[in-house]
Amino acid sequence: MTYDALIPVIRRLALEAGDKIMEIYNSDDFDVKVKSDASPVTEADEAADVLISAGLRAVFPDILLVTEEQAASHTEKSDTFLIVDPLDGTKEFINRRGDFTVNIALVENGVPTRGVVYAPAKGRMFYTQPDGQSVEETGALDKDVVGNVTPILVSKPNNSALLIVASKSHRDQATEDYINKYQVRDSKSAGSSLKFCLVATGEADLYPRVGRTMEWDTAAGHAVLAGAGGKVVRFDNHEPLTYGKDGYANPFFIAYAPGVELKEA
């Protein structure tokens, strides 16, 4: 597999999954179930997972696929794997808030190297090109014809007036306490992996996550942010956040534009 072969496939699958998700989102009603970890799952999560999984396995049958909705995939391991969250921000989806995304990423030797994040309700699509540069595509978002792409780049942060983005559904006192360590010009909330993309485009300087996430929640956004010059580190020791961990569970982390003077936990 080459990056030139990968990027068109994950871009197209993200768009196709987005269409399926929006079809259900715009319906009068949809089923919501509760998984064993007490998190919600909808028919949109499941339909998007089936579509993306089939598409990736058809083109890249020899690469391990790890996906949120297929628990059996969570015990397999490889240095190189594709990782998918077919609908990140299920709570935003259920509450019809629009801040949900389709996430597909490639991880190599613990590092998310390529990825796509598509927010179908917002019409925003971010992905890494084959050369690793992250872009935002605008226009019709046609599945077969790539529209206008604009390279994205993190901000040059002003540490006396930082722009912060944090979770919409999981913004707790621990998060507020950490944000209060900084001099903040503006603080906003957003759902799903869009927070990584807001840092990647320079719309925010810093995204701290003091809460539980899994690697499929973060890998695609991490790849997009890295391709825009950003970094993601562990909250506790500021070491790089790595992937392929046991159970694919993340520690707390901080995503940021280099130049932000990180505070201790």
Tens digits of residue pLDDT in 211-256: 999 999 999 999 999 999 999 999 999 999 999 999 999 999 999 9
Q: What is the pLDDT of residue 115?
A: 98
Confidence band, pLDDT 50/70/90 cuts, at residue 72: confident
Kindly state the average pLDDT of the residues 129-152.
97
Q: What is the pLDDT of residue 71?
A: 86
The answer to whether residue 264 sits within a structural domain is no
Task: Indicate the residue among 151, 182, 202 that finishes a domain.
Answer: 151
- The total domain count for the chain is 2
Confidence band, pLDDT 50/70/90 cuts, at residue 57: very high
Same domain, yes or no, for 111 and 185?
A: no
Q: What is the pLDDT of residue 265?
A: 86
Task: Indicate the residue among 117, 151, 185 that finishes a domain.
Answer: 151
Q: pLDDT over 70 for what percent of the chain?
A: 98
Residues present in the chain in total: 265
Q: What is the pLDDT of residue 36?
A: 63
Q: How many CB atoms lie within 10 A of CB 182?
A: 21
Kindly state the average pLDDT of the residues 83-97.
92
Same domain, yes or no, for 140 and 179?
A: no
Contact 222, 214 (CB under 8 A): no
The answer to whether residue 262 sits within a structural domain is no
Same domain, yes or no, for 142 and 196?
A: no
- Residue 191 tokens read as 């759902």
Q: What is the pLDDT of residue 172?
A: 83
In angstroms, the CA 206 to CA 224 distance is 15
Q: Which residue from 204, 194, 51 is spatially nearest to 117, judged by alpha carbons? A: 194
33 has a pLDDT exceeding 90: no
Kindly state the average pLDDT of the residues 142-171.
93
Same domain, yes or no, for 13 and 141?
A: yes
Q: What is the mean pLDDT of the chain?
A: 94
Kindly state the average pLDDT of the residues 104-132.
98
Same domain, yes or no, for 249 and 201?
A: yes
Task: Indicate the residue among 151, 178, 194 that finishes a domain.
Answer: 151
Kindly state the average pLDDT of the residues 72-85.
95
Confidence band, pLDDT 50/70/90 cuts, at residue 134: very high
Contact 21, 109 (CB under 8 A): no
Domain residue limits at 186:
162-256
Q: Which residues contact 75 (CB under 8 A, 6 or more apart)?
A: none
Same domain, yes or no, for 24 and 138?
A: yes
Asked which of 166-180, 193-207, 220-234 is least confident by mean pLDDT, the reply is: 166-180
Confidence band, pLDDT 50/70/90 cuts, at residue 38: low
51 vs 94, more confident: 51
42 has a pLDDT exceeding 90: no
Kindly state the average pLDDT of the residues 94-113.
95
What is the torsional sign of CA 118, 123, 126, 130? Answer: positive
Confidence band, pLDDT 50/70/90 cuts, at residue 196: very high
